[in-house]
A and B are shown apart, each in its own frame.
Chain A
Amino acid sequence: MSLLWGRRILAGAMILVAAVAVTACGSKTSDEGGAAGVTADVSGDTVKVGLLNSLSGTMAISEVTVRDSIMLAVEEINAAGGVLGKKIQPIGEDGASDWPTFAEKAEKLISEDRVAAVFGCWTSASRKAVKPVFEKNKALLFYPVQYEGLEQSPYIFYTGATTNQQIVPGLDYLKAQGTKSVYLVGSDYVFPRTANKIIKAYAAANGMTVVGEDYAPLGSTEFGTIVNKVRSSGAKAVFNTLNGDSNVAFFKEYKSAGLTAAAMPVVSVSIAEEEVKSIGTQYLEGQLTAWNYYQTTPGAANGKFVAAYKAKYGADKPTSDPMEAAYVSVYLWKAMVEKAGAFDVEKVRGASDGITFEAPEGLVTVDGKTQHIAKTARIGKVGADGLITEVWNSGKPIAPDPYLKTYPWASGLS
């Protein structure tokens, strides 16, 4: 057996691996279901809902906690008698941090299980992958994570923040602190790219300079070069839209390079309490986050939520913004269904406008037109105990404006 032979086989192996990677990225959305839409099966004494989150892969670090809090809401609602007298029967699927898998599982939940609504998705890439599936089947998705805005699907309710409820307040905060230059670091997919487009438009109109912009593939763990660029850029702050556990590698590198929260703070929009815990408080202490909810947010509703979550999943488990938004989304759906008096998707959508809920983050109101919710923006700082404490809030809920129509500087976007 010659060396050459081994090398040929190796070349074959490389091609094989590449081919597998490519097919894994190909779209597998099936066309079942048809344009007529699939009606939910609510004939029994239960109503099925789908839970679609990544329980494996690079996003599992975040999405497992969302699944847990959805389950908490479902159990609480069932214990209190269910929705319209029917108990909720949750059907869980693993999106596996892979966007075509999300589309496939969404199709399965809608067409085979005939669920009344689906709760889940985290990355915008997964939401974009399932959006046509929900629109084609006229089924409902409740999406619980902050995102880049510029979207408004009639079949999606967005219970996380849109840009004017998170990123814009985050920039306002930096501006108020006198920050004149920022460096943008993000994962390479739709959310960070769009968010950074918005940030650049904001910066141009508000006398800030964007001194650099870098993207790493989702799941990337080599940040030596990016941190080196950040360090030599002279930026006053970093706006971080990295997702998943790339954050672990980024913050380890950031600290190793001698960069500190005092000298060059990082504002993150995808790092909440759960991520702080797994990245390691030693790397994050003093860094800033922009959200609508923290475990430390005061109020009776939050006290009850935190206590219930810890009682079910363990005292060491923190609660976070996307978890809260996911928890709230189940209650909002319940309120919509009860107001509509039916599980029918169109009726539920029609009933959505003006629905309010005393959420852990404070009072939230559904805007029926955009299908987003009004939320209070909160900037927080990571403490030594791994919890995030609020350093600023918007004072009142901010009305959702996914297309940033009320901001003159954003006119060139979308």
Chain B
Amino acid sequence: MTVLFGQLFTGISIGAVLLLIALGLALTFGQMNVINMAHGEFIMAGAYTTYVLQQSITGAGLSLLVALPVAFVVAGTMGVLLEILLIRRLYARPLDTLLVTWGVSLMLQQLARDVFGSPNVQTRAPDLLTGNVALPGGLTVANNRLFILALALAAVAALTLALRFTPLGRRIRAVVQNRDLAAVSGIPTARVDRTTFFLGSGLAGLAGVALTLLGPIGPTMGTNLIIDAFLVVVVGGIGQLKGSVIVAFALGVLQATGEYLTTLSVAKVIVFVAIVAFLQWRPQGLFTLRTRSLA
């Protein structure tokens, strides 16, 4: 029972990390059909932001709290710069975008190496987040994972509410559903794209902050996660969030269960096989966005 619960919680927690990363991707991939290979480096930027803040702010708890908004803005700004300088010029050329953002990703990794050094760095977690909460029946949940789960759920809630109830959200949804119609209706699609990119990249920054609680910070930390996050978006279905949410947690639990029953490497294989099988059955993903658009 303890084990089962522990594994379920581990799976959900893996899912929460995936979700934080995939949310940003779901936004940019869904709206602009841009495959941003540099998304992982925005995670890295968020993580290094936490590290830098911890060098200047002594309290580990305070620096983490400050890091959340700062990392969001830092990663978001990097995303906007990428959009303005490169992606905007390549909207009609998806393959070129892919290669260009991959190049950017390699450059950002090297930049991190030059600035912070090749060896990975670590942050001190606040004492509050290193312990665990004891539940009745001998069950425990780790505080850091609880924090990440809360952060992921808060991000989903905030994003859902923003998409549904704010003017910006309405514009984003309009562009996702039918870009041309949105444009002729007077929506400044270019500006909406830029804002979406800011939000999506900022969420990656938040994911970076969360990851500092689990492991080391290094130049390649993003690349390790980006493929899993893309899988979440593709399997979940493009153009909406609920698919990503469900699939992120499902993949997390599948990964944790597979790993418990076999080994880590075999679990990865199980996850990939399951995804391939699923996409054979539903190539469009779990949910599809129904539009009247011809494209």
Residues of A within 8 A of B (CB): 1-3, 5-7, 9-10, 12-14, 17, 55-58, 60-61, 64, 188, 214-217, 219-222, 224-226, 228-229, 231-232, 245, 248-249, 252-253, 255-258, 278-280, 282-283
Q: Please tell me if the beta carbons of A3 and B120 are within 8 angstroms of each other in the complex.
A: no
Let me know if B49 is at the binding interface, CB within 8 A.
Answer: no
Binding site for A on B (CB under 8 A): 2-3, 6-7, 10, 13-14, 29, 33, 35, 37, 92, 94-95, 98, 102, 113, 118-122, 124-125, 130-132, 134, 140, 142-145, 211, 213-216, 218, 220-221, 224, 227, 230, 234, 238-239, 256, 259-260, 263-265, 283-284, 295
Q: Output the nearest chain B residue to A249 by Cβ-Cβ distance.
A: B215
Complex-state Cα separation, A60 to B124, whole angstroms = 20
List residues of chain A with CB within 8 A of the CB of B95: 9, 12
- How many angstroms between the C-alpha atoms of A226 and B260 in the bound complex? 8
Shortest distance from the beta carbon of B38 to any chain A beta carbon, whole Å: 12
Smallest CB-CB separation from B256: which chain A residue?
A225
Question: Which residues on B sit within 8 Å (CB–CB) of A188?
Answer: 264-265
Chain B nearest CB, measured from A224 CB (Å): 3
Distance A7 CA – B235 CA, assembled complex (angstroms): 11
The reply to whether A5 and B94 form a contact with Cβ atoms under 8 Å apart is yes
CB distance from B288 to the nearest CB of A (A): 9
Tell whether, in the assembled complex, residue A216 and residue B264 are in contact, meaning their CB atoms are under 8 Å apart: yes
Q: A252 to chain B: which residues have CB within 8 Å? A: 125, 130, 144, 213-215
Alpha-carbon distance A214/B259, docked complex (angstroms): 10
B120 engages A256 (CB within 8 Å): no
Docked Cα-Cα span, A12 to B94, in Å, equals: 11
Residues of B within 8 A of A58 (CB): 120, 218
Known contacts: A221-B215, A249-B216, A256-B144. The answer to whether A1 contacts B130 by CB under 8 A is no
Beta-carbon contact of B124 and A257 below 8 Å: no
Q: Report if A256-B130 is in contact (Cβ < 8 Å); known contacts: A14-B227, A225-B259.
A: yes
Which chain B residues border A257 with CB–CB below 8 Å?
132, 140, 142
Known: A228-B10, A252-B125. A245 touches B120 (CB 8 A): yes
With A and B bound together, what is the CA distance between A256 and B230 in angstroms?
29
A380 to chain B, nearest CB (A): 21
With A9-B35, A257-B140 already in contact, the answer to whether A57 and B145 are too (CB < 8 A) is: no
CB distance from A85 to the nearest CB of B (A): 36
Cα–Cα distance between A266 and B227 once the two chains are bound (Å): 33
Which residue of chain B has its CB nearest to the CB of A14?
B227
CB atoms of B214 and A215 under 8 A apart: no
Number of A-B residue pairs, CB cutoff 8 Å, is 141
Chain A residues near B264 (CB-CB < 8 A): 188, 214-217, 220, 225-226
B230 adjacent to A55 (CB under 8 Å): no
Additional A-B contact list (16), CB under 8 Å, known A228-B260, A256-B142? A6-B238, A9-B95, A10-B35, A57-B118, A60-B118, A61-B119, A188-B265, A217-B264, A221-B211, A221-B215, A229-B260, A231-B6, A256-B131, A256-B144, A278-B120, A280-B124
User: Taking the nearest CB of chain A, how far is it from the CB of B113, in angstroms?
Assistant: 6
* Contact indicator A248/B216 (Cβ below 8 Å): yes
Whether the pair B227, A248 counts as a contact (CB closer than 8 A) is: no
Q: How far apart are the CA atoms of A34 and B142 in the complex, in Å?
A: 57
What are the residues of chain B within 8 A of A215 when measuring CB–CB? 263-265
A224–B256 touching, CB < 8 Å: yes
List residues of chain B with CB within 8 A of the CB of A219. 224
Contact A282 B98 (CB under 8 A): no
Q: Is B10 a contact of A258 with CB atoms below 8 Å?
A: no
Chain A residues positioned under 8 Å from B35 (CB to CB): 6, 9-10, 13
In the docked arrangement, what's the CA distance between A282 and B123, Å?
Answer: 12
The residues of A that contact B125 with a CB separation of less than 8 Å are 252
Residue of B6, B119, B256 touching A60 (CB-CB under 8 A)? B119
Q: Which residues on the B side are within 8 Å of A14 (C-beta)?
A: 227, 230
Closest B residue to A5 by CB, please name it.
B94
Q: Which residues of A contact B14 (CB under 8 A)?
A: 222, 224
How far apart sit A55 and B118, CA to CA, in the bound complex (Å)? 7
CB distance from B130 to the nearest CB of A (A): 5
Contact sample, A vs B, 5 pairs, CB 8 Å cutoff: A3-B238, A3-B239, A222-B214, A245-B122, A248-B120
A1: chain B residues within 8 A (beta carbon): 33, 92, 94, 295
Among A225, A255, A279, chain B packs the most CB atoms within 10 A around the CB of A225
Q: Which residues of chain A come closer than 8 Å to B134, judged between CB atoms? A: 258
Assembled-state Cα–Cα distance A225/B213 (Å): 16
Contact, CB under 8 Å: B98 / A217:
no
Query: Closest Cβ of chain B: how far from A34's Cβ, in Å?
Result: 34
Taking CB as reference atom, which chain B residue is nearest A6? B33
Q: A3 → chain B, closest Cβ, in Å?
A: 5
Q: How far is the CA of A214 from the CA of B263 in the complex (A)?
A: 7
Whole-angstrom distance between the Cβ of B232 and the nearest chain A Cβ: 12
| A64, B238: Cα distance in complex, Å | 44
Q: How far is the CB of A16 from chain B (nearest CB, A)?
A: 8
Whose C-beta in chain A lies nearest to the C-beta of B127? Answer: A282
Contact B124 A282, beta carbon cutoff 8 Å: yes
What's the least CB distance linking A284 to chain B, in Å? 12
Cα separation A9 to B3 with both chains bound (whole Å) = 41
